[in-house]
Every structure is written in structure tokens, then in C-alpha cells.
Structure 1
């Protein structure tokens, strides 16, 4: 399903690595745990939902398993008045997004991405907008089969 979302701002922890490093070194998990422990430092935070934003380099042969890309794990904020030390503010622009719901273990999320980028996007006639993001709300239970993660893939207009 394609949805239009207004811009929003996220404050959180930024890292740059490839998927292999992120998985083997548990970089995203470390950033997530750090974010949760420092949540009270983020002014203007809207709720408890965590956003994982993934920004990819504009390279024709980009391979996320080998090539580094940027991840921001954070909370949506009303305004980023003060960004806590060691964190960043990131603006997610207004855009059309392909919205999909991943159901199942987080370790199986790669299948959802394979479908999105390998089948849905080429068949949709739309072009990739350079980033995607995940929404980790009260349904986020990464180690449980009932886990649900909303995935949004930015589309060029």
C-alpha cells in the first residue's frame, strides 16, 4: 500500500556500518538499548514509539551486506530544541511511502525487505527514494513470533 506522510523529526543515535557489521557486532541493538536508557534526555519526545531510519548511499551497485549506510534509531519529537550529547536530529521529509507490515521474528525481516526491493518496487513502476524506516511500537517483540514491524520505503515523486 502507498501512503503519503508529512515530514517529521527524530532525535536519536546514529551509526554507520554495513549489515554484516550491524548484525555481527549487534550495533543496532546496542544503539537501541542506549536510546531506551537515555529516553528521558530527549525533550519534546512524542510517545514511546522508536523509529529506525536507514539512509543508503546513491550508488548503482550498493550492497547493504558489504557497503556502509547510515542508521538513526530514535524517537519522534515535536521540535528538536536541544539534542542530547552523542545524539543527532534527523528530518524525515514529506513523501509517498510503500507501507508494509512485517509479521514474525525480527531475524526474518530480511525476507520482507527482499520482497519489497526485489519484487514490489520493480513491479510497482515507482522509484526508490533513497531511504526507508521501521516503526517499533507496542507490537515490537523482536524475539517473538507475534512481533510486528511497520516498514516504510520512500518513493520518488
Structure 2
């Protein structure tokens, strides 16, 4: 059984600019839309004012009723961190992730194997309003030595 290191961290507010969609997990997996959007975002970083790092965030914002299934639509935000919200391209959105305490879990290995990490998170931490993934380098996500940082709100 795989073991996970969990760190409790204090996170400052994060301002983001990127794309937002509302889709179910099954639709996202079938259509691969999140991958398409993150590739598009990576190609368009020069269009985003005040971008201050090359990594990309994925926020998965769930319905608050806790009645989630693989077919339940929820919001996905695929975005770059910015120092401030300036002019944004017409097809993009802004989002501000409030400051707070989070648990950081690192998924080590290929992105296609991230399901086992989420199984651990779901079994350990239960229902939560949001999951945040940080992809430092989207071009190495399927490498065996890839790492994806996952942040969940601390209770």
C-alpha cells in the first residue's frame, strides 16, 4: 500500500486567471477537456497580465450538499497565478482562492494514476468543498517521477 506524507500549511490568498467549466468527472475523463484547457492555457500565458509563475492550478469546486457522484457536474477552474487581476482575455475568468489552512498531499507518479491518491484522500478526509491541484510542469505529468501537489481545506 502506498504511503502519503501530509503537511498542514497556511496558504495566502491566491489570485488566478484562466478557464472555468462545469462538468461531471465522467464527462471530463471522456472528453479530456481539462487537459485540452491546460494545454491551451500554457500556450497563452503571454496573454495573461501579471502572471508570476509557470505552474498551472486546477480547482475542483464541489456542490455543498455532499451528494457527489461521477456524473454530478461541478466547477473546474484551470488557471495561472497572478500578482493582481489586470486585463484578461475575453474567454477567460478571474478567481480568488481565499487564504486559509490546507492539507498538502503529494501525488508521486503519472497523472493517470492519481485515482489512488484521491481514494486515499476521500477515505482519510471525507467530503470537502474543494480540491486544488498544482502542476509545476504539465509536460511531464505522465513521467514516473512526476509530482502533483494536492491541497484540501484543513478542518
Q: CA RMSD in A?
A: 1.5
Deviations 1:17-40 (A, max 9, x none): 011110110110111111112111
1:45 aligns with 2:51: yes
1:23 is matched with 29
Superposition deviation, residue 139 in structure 1 = 8.0
List gaps (5 residues or longer) in structure 1: none
Q: 1:117 to 1:136 in 2, by over 3 A?
A: same
Unaligned runs of 5+ in 2: 1-6
Scaled by the length of structure 1, the TM-score of the pair is: 0.89
Q: Partner residue of 1:14?
A: 20
May I ask how many residue pairs the two structures share in their alignment? 149
Structure 1 segments (4+ residues) deviating >2 Å: none
Matches within 5 A, 1:93-112: 93-112=98-117
- 1:42-72 Cα offsets, whole Å, 9 max, x none, are 0000120111111111123212x11011111
Deviation at 1:154, TM superposition (A): 1.6
> Is residue 151 from structure 1 mapped to residue 150 from structure 2 by the alignment?
yes
**Partner residue, 1:59:** 65
The TM-score, its normalising length taken from structure 2, stands at 0.90
Is 1:34 aligned with 2:33?
no
1:5 aligns to what? 11
